A and B are shown apart, each in its own frame.
Chain A
């Protein structure tokens, strides 16, 4: 149960990254999972290769990946805003392939484990062994969400970001530097992906295909309604639990595809998801 909840939190965090970018720029970032992979690898590099402490490495990895996200937006993605969505999809898929290739050249295609302060420790709680790794994921998600919520509601920059994602033109008129806001949103989204990556690293192992978790996070984002931040988290946790239960009660093989089946069913039955709103286009 806790296991599913924790994995669900990771899906939720990645989905949160999708949603942030989608709400702001209407780009769907297929490279989100690969940003997660980069975050996990960067943290691993600092901890194991350079012997930096876990928390410092965590911060460094998140900062680096966030910076990378902002640079990515400023140099590449800004050029195709306003182009058809197809080219955006292709562009981010291409970027994801580049990231994976970069990771396999820079860090090798072996499988690594990240040593953390929580590794292989457990607390007995009401007779059940609770692994610290899973607890760390859940606590991390809750804290991150609280911080993001506060940031978007109470700070000037956060409000400006909301404004520019709601109406770009009006935000320009109000003197908001929209381009900068978009870069910042990319930075936040990449940072969230990196945090998810570092939190996930002790549970799953680090390899270059870690990014494929992004595909399951799509299911989470769609289930929650693409474009709804609480929806992304709820969707992520739901997918995590569904996976857990289908692994336990359904024949072998269903666990891996459960998320995609849910995704297809949701898209076919209720495309707007649990929290979203899609209306018919007006001419």
Chain B
């Protein structure tokens, strides 16, 4: 398909993470860009570190929903468990920071297995409903178990101290998150190329076919849950430091839906997609708050030729409208609906199309990516 053809001369090329040197150099350039980013935009370092944390969450859900085909509507609960475990271990038990992260990882993985086991008997939408119920129960538990979680009063989180080094500054925290994200990406990328990842993809595409090829459904589905939950636990530990204060009403269903939004908008079934989605979801509120301040002024400038009063009236009306509290979730909903209807492959899919358009320049065929219109496919299994 592509004009650039990679001519392989040794097996090492198959084993390498990158397709060729060009690709590797691009990623190196990206890494260098990220390393100098805090110098360029110091004001936004905090927002970008949230992008990295969301990137980990996106990876986690991408493994489960995008690669194994198990859609979880309760991932915020894993994030919450990770965050609370980490804070409890570090603050209340006084153990080192690294132990906190490790325990957060282990505990969420264990809970992931617990959720994954009954999930073996469910398919499709039942699983989504079950994970949703699980998340609601966990949220209630976080509220009630006051001795550990602090209940509704919440729990303050101090700055991270890693191996005796105080990482209080925003920039230090930025690099901490970046390191965890790169480690997570490297691990997940390699896992997905290994037999485990292949088995997950096989389960996603057809459970029965996978089973007949000797994939043990119980083992691989549970391991997908455990791995996904463990990533979420690590992300939760970082998230706790990012927000600085834990309360049960942070880890709501809405947060889970934001994570799903991330994988859908980014593009299901690709690690790039998880990251694109994370950038999108983490930076959208920033963009919205910027737009809130500037849009009324623009619109009143448009309306001002009609007279001074019209301009002022437009400003007031629009200003009032954009300051309504319910607008933001609605905007998320609109974006979600538009993506599902018009670009189900997400941002990454669009990116691939643009790439292909240029690499096959005069010969690009729109039909390459046409959605197959299927007749209603029954999942009711008769």
Write the residues of chain A forming the contact surface with B, with a CB cutoff of 8 angstroms.
25-26, 28, 76, 79-83, 85-87, 89-91, 93-98, 100-105, 109, 168-169, 208, 215, 218-219, 222, 226-227, 252-253, 256-257, 260-261, 263-264, 267-268, 271, 278-283
Contacts and interface: CB of A to CB of B under 8 A. Distances in A.
B264 interface: yes
B344 A257 contact: no
B33 interface: no
A104 B324 contact: yes
Contact of A253 (B121, B144, B340): B144
B35 interface: no
Nearest to B66: A86
A56 to B, nearest CB: 29
B336 A97 contact: yes
* Residue of B209, B335, B341 with most chain A CB atoms under a 10 A cut-off: B341
User: What bracket does the count of chain B residues touching chain A fall in?
Assistant: 35 or more
Given A89-B128, A215-B132, A281-B381, A98 B143 contact: no
A257 B122 contact: no
Contacts of B377: 82
A39 to B, nearest CB: 18
B133 A93 contact: no
B140 to A, nearest CB: 5
Contacts of A101: 326-331, 333
B126 A93 contact: no
A267 B126 CA distance: 8
A105 B118 contact: no
A105 B144 contact: no
Given A28-B125, A95-B337, A268-B121, A90 B264 contact: yes
Interface of B: 65, 69, 71, 73, 118, 121-122, 124-126, 128-130, 132-134, 136-137, 140, 143-144, 208-209, 253, 257, 260-261, 264, 268, 321, 324-337, 340-341, 344, 373-382
A28 B125 CA distance: 8
A102 B326 CA distance: 8
Given A80-B341, A81-B376, A85-B125, A97 B332 contact: yes
Nearest to B71: A86
Closest 3 CB pairs of A and B: A101-B330, A104-B326, A97-B333
Most buried by A among B69, B121, B333, B341: B333
A100 to B, nearest CB: 7
B262 to A, nearest CB: 11
B129 A222 contact: yes
